[in-house]
Chain A
């Protein structure tokens, strides 16, 4: 159980275009999903917290108009990188949180590698 999928697994796009990445919880409902970015040989950096049916909360330094997040259902959150530039090339990972009781765990998707040319 607790499987999270991401689509696509990798994408190459031209500078100036927009890219949408989907994150789905396959066998559970996730009221909260998180989006991370990871550069090579670095740790995961939280970009934003996405709550179903409400606006995402962005971390300091993350442009909300550039990284559009939509969490329309309890099993799907999307991240759209608008007007992508080469410096946006990175590994984007989502996670979904199992909530309830005293235990909180996040389950991660397999990641999406974005390359902007």
Chain B
């Protein structure tokens, strides 16, 4: 099936540092979504991107939909301990019933 390559797999950073993670695919997506999942919980939608080149912010989070529609990145500025969790990108494929394909996740750990 379709795959999203998400990197890095994990990050261990100091509080206050900026974070960047990205997803790439060989397929073109019509929508990119970024989710955060905390232990024992379902994913929570952070940012949704609908147009190639779109840059969207949500507080300290910024995400962009790549021009080629095959990639997206998520940046977190000035990280805080509550940013800890697993971040997943997800893409919706054209002509695939708008089902989501998930990346492998980026596990973020923040040291106070």
Contact = CB atoms under 8 A, between A and B. Distances in A.
Interface stretch (B13-21, B43-51, B60-68, B76-84): B43-51
Specify which of B41, B43, B98 lies most central, judged by the most chain A CB atoms within 10 Å of its CB.
B43
Name the interface size band of chain A: 20 to 34
Contacts of A41: 107
Nearest to B104: A43
The A interface, classified by DSSP as helix, strand, loop or mixed, is strand
Contacts of B41: 110-111
Given A102-B50, A108-B45, 13 more contacts: A41-B107, A44-B88, A46-B100, A49-B97, A60-B1, A103-B31, A103-B48, A104-B31, A104-B98, A106-B45, A108-B43, A109-B42, A111-B42
28 contacts: A34-B100, A43-B103, A43-B104, A43-B105, A44-B43, A44-B102, A45-B102, A46-B99, A46-B100, A49-B97, A49-B99, A93-B42, A95-B100, A97-B98, A102-B50, A103-B31, A103-B50, A104-B31, A105-B33, A105-B48, A106-B100, A107-B45, A108-B43, A110-B42, A111-B40, A111-B41, A111-B42, A113-B40
